[in-house]
Structure 1
Amino acid sequence: MDLIFEILRIYECGLKLEFIEGELLKFVPNIVDFINLYLRNPNTNENFHLRHNKDDWKGTIEAIDDIEENIWCPELGIKGKVDVSIKTAFNTMPLELKTGRASVSLEHRGQVMMYIMMMNKLGYNVPSGLLLYLR
């Protein structure tokens, strides 16, 4: 996105900087927690923190492959837009971002499962996907 265009859109809406900062800061804690759990530290080539709950995914994100990747699977007759395609040591996986509060709804899980199925049909080796609630 063009940063200047986005700033102009915010200005046109008459939003105050303090309001925008407050809204954005609501998302920071969950993003930081996710980074600490799953991203590899480029300086040490190790995870930032290796503290996983028993139900957490045990992998590490090596790199971001694509953002808002359009995928189309004619065989299934569906298309979608993967928020983030991530690379792990062995696979590519979809990472779906949700701006609402964590609910782990069947719809959200189903969306990730559809992306997994579509990416596998397109030749990727995708064993699972990730769902991140930003609030």
Structure 2
Amino acid sequence: MIILHPDHLVSATIVADSIGCQRRAVLQDRIKNTGDIGKPQVFGNIFHEAFQEAMKANQWDISSLRSLVEMVIVKHIEELYLIHMSIPEAIDYVMGKIPALISWADTFLKEKPGTQSLVEDRNSSKLRLSINKLLEVEEHIWSPMYGLKGNIDATVQVACHDGESDKNLVVPLELKTGNRDTNHAHRAQTALYTLLLSDRYGEPGPCHE
């Protein structure tokens, strides 16, 4: 890989978005969206913040999560007003998604991966993986080595078993609440974030590239 002008840092998200359409990625970077805020954007922000707070507290029971959701939603009262939704309605909407989050936490947040802690890589190979340590949330990484910068939802340490050996790795954890059609861009973004983390932490990449 050849890096030109590494002092000009490009957002990893913009690079990932260019997979689908290079022109759109450039326009999104140069021209900021000034349109009306919508429900997906508002609740995407709320979900991200609530998830990060839950990761920091490491409390995944329904009562604790409801308290976190209520705390986060109050911070977004202006956005909720713009989409004509009350705080109780917003809380009910978010809490409707919480059972899936609790199920995810039960499966993957543990010291060692269990039999159900399975993930699938891009080659459709399955491996057992669990998150055993939170290192940082909203980590800002600038890498002149690669000419990239990124803002990672959460940086975590994972225990990974690929069928042959056990490893502890530092990897990015991204919460995606948008359209499933952007899956390729999401994978590219995560791969670039992994590259940034390897530059900062000097860690190897995931069990399977």
TM-score (norm 2): 0.49
User: In 1, are the aligned partners of 2:117 and 2:129 still within 8 Å (CA)?
Assistant: no
Q: Of Structure 1 and Structure 2, which has the larger fraction of its residues in helix?
A: 2
1:77 corresponds to:
147
Gaps of 5+ in 2: 1-48, 50-70, 121-125, 160-167
How many angstroms apart in 1 are the aligned matches of 2:77 and 2:118? 43
How many angstroms apart in 1 are the aligned matches of 2:182 and 2:128? 19
User: In the TM superposition, what is the alpha-carbon distance from 1:30 to its structure 2 partner?
Assistant: 2.9
CA RMSD of aligned residues (A): 3.1
1:114 corresponds to:
192
Q: Tell me whether 1:6 sits opposite 2:75 in the alignment.
A: yes
1:39/1:103 CA distance change after superposition, 3 Å: farther
Q: Of Structure 1 and Structure 2, which has the larger fraction of its residues in strand?
A: 1
How many angstroms apart in 2 are the aligned matches of 1:65 and 1:29? 25
Gaps of 5+ in 1: 130-135
User: What's the CA shift string for 1:20-79, capped at 9, x where partnerless?
Assistant: 023313432331222121101xxxx666x6424573541221111100100111111110
Paired positions, count? 124
Q: Which amino acid aligns with 2:75?
A: E
Matches within 5 A, 1:13-28: 13=82, 15-28=85-98
User: What's the CA shift string for 1:72-92, capped at 9, x where partnerless?
Assistant: 111111100011101124221
TM-score (norm 1): 0.71
Greater relative contact order structure (CA < 8 Å, 6+ sep): 2
